[in-house]
Structure 1
Amino acid sequence: MNKDITDLKIGVLGGGQLGRMMLQSSTDFNLDIHMIDPDPNAPCSKMANSFTQGALTDYDTIMAFGADKDVLTIEIEAVNTDALKELEKQGKKVFPQPAIVEMIQDKRKQKTFYKANRIPTADFILTENAEEVKSNASFLPAVNKLGKGGYDGQGVQIIKTEADLEKAFDAPSLLEKLVDFKKELSVIVARNEAGEVKCFPLVEMAFHPTANLVEFLFAPAEVAKEVEEKAYALAEDVISKLDMVGLLAVEMFLTQDDQILVNEIAPRTHNSGHQTIEANITSQFEQHLRAILNLPLGSTELIKPAAMVNVLGEDGYTGNAKYEGLNELLSIPGVHLHLYGKKLTKPFRKMGHITITDESTETLKTKALKVKEILKVKA
């Protein structure tokens, strides 16, 4: 690419909070960023150099959007990969590569890729409908995951006993052996066109008991050094075997016997990397931009231990968002608030996140629990 990075026209498919934080990071490099999203009031709608309202899954819409762009990237996987493949053929730089996005869109193909490439993951069975799930009752306890369409905990059912089989998806899905894990971990790994690879420090996640999405995150994860090194090696192995350019979130299970299994991957900036804005020398959003522009990757060194708390819409409230407890929250040392610009709240909708930095990991946990109780999003 012969153009200076400031002369490139960069298109981003998706205009949500991940795109918003990418935009905020892009201003440091004076990049020309253009966004498309189906929601006219998307978080990026008033921040990008230009904003297009349009369906991310419509072939003609994406072809028209990409026609005058030099580089295209995503902040969500639910996009039309056929259009991206055609734009790639026309000479556009498209990262992550459309074929990889297409594979990751289908959890069945994801799992098959792991197996074919000897990437450790939970045992699984591919199923076409609910009857096939029920016919594999001997495989329980297991998790039934829709092949396509699941997002933020949707499209996942835990099936522990035969009585739970009524919850099985009557669509192409997979039945994955329920893993007896002691921790859920994540590594954000980046790779540029030159083949340079860097991992962010391993983080530990705690999930909301009913919404099935990340509620707390702690960095660094409290694990043995050998577990940490194994996690980095695994993340680097996955992105290298994909031959992917961009940023990849690799979610993992740490089993009771200290084995690491890949759970799922996301080819974009990710909820498990939000703390990097304050806690690391380079944020995940800057690193993503560096990777897709084939710039040297930035240092991922942790400046201070950090916790991240997702700000979720309160259960029972739908309507124009109102934030209770802001003054008390912002009086706590080390607290950094990020609101996503979403006007409407609904139960468990991601409305923002809070990063807490502190020298002490114990203090971090205490503050994280306190912060969760202070800020409430109601209508």
Structure 2
Amino acid sequence: MAGQTPERRAERPAAPGAPDFATKEAIRARAFEMGFDAAGFAKAGAPPADGANLAAFLGGGRHGDMTWLAETFARRADPQALWPEARTVIALGVNYGPAEDPRALQGRADRGAVSVYARNRDYHDVVKKRVKRLARWIVETRGGEVKVFVDTAPVMEKPLAARAGIGWQGKHTNLVSRTFGSWLFLAEVFTTLALPPDAPETDLCGSCNRCAEACPTDALAEPYRMNAARCLSYVTIEHKGAIAADLRPALGNRIYGCDDCLAACPWNKFSRPTAEAAFQARPDLDAPRLAELAGLDDAAFRRAFAGTPIKRTGRDRLLRNVLIAIGNSGDAALLSVVRPRLEDESPLVREAAQWAFGRLSGAPGPASQG
């Protein structure tokens, strides 16, 4: 069969009822060969705490207008509700660590800060191809049935990854790894194979609270509890409407996402920059000029961001963010790029332009008068 080696074909299957450690370690080795940086195994069933934590998150309204989280609650709370035949979840991680602290860009008022994960190819596309290859190899060489996920279904990736031992959910609610800090893309292979689980990783946050201290909007007021409605990643990416007035100054020059809580984690001292070219920053997305972004029409936006996560958000939301960043810049010279957007076809863009005009000139934008 494709992908097999003579050594793997010679391995004997585990005796009936015995833990199949040979298959588990063969899969892990193959995952590393295929470019994954972390691989762990967990039973497919979820503990009640996962569903309870999700219910509390939704019940507190901390999900903002991400209504799909509530709509898919039943399947999201338990992998076996999503696929009852699943016996094992193989949790996978790919390092996307940046070469420099992404917060260093925040002092450059004429440039936009783009989240590390969005500065090049869309990781969903890159990682999913790799996961599919691994899953195909598992079926061809080890049997069973599989389903693969890369943030593409109601799967609670971070609790699964923590149970599989590749990290723990830190106080910023994201996964933290001893080896890669806070910089891992996650993916999963669900399989009908019953494989021995790995030991869950220990929570090593201790008394550290740097992630919460770094958050510019106090979205992490409670450890391990994210208020997504105040998180700048949610606000700049998922939120479709106008951004709340009290959050706009906190955006600074962030135009797509926010990495502050991730970058503040002390465990990043053990991380290393990604070797994956598709995740290294493109020069035009490393520190894009706000003035150039403000001039994009829809066609230019699509050309500039084809193949990146930014394209999914759309031109109007990006320009909303860009204009707020321009308003925060304090640079009155940028009024020249704000004025054309006062007549933009998009109400969302016009409103942000009016706010930016008022911030830089001290007067309301012409389109807002009368």
TM-score of the pair, normalised by structure 1: 0.22
Larger radius of gyration between Structure 1 and Structure 2: 2
Greater share of residues in strand: 1
RCO greater where, 1 or 2, for CA within 8 Å and sep 6 or more? 2
TM-score of the pair, normalised by structure 2: 0.22
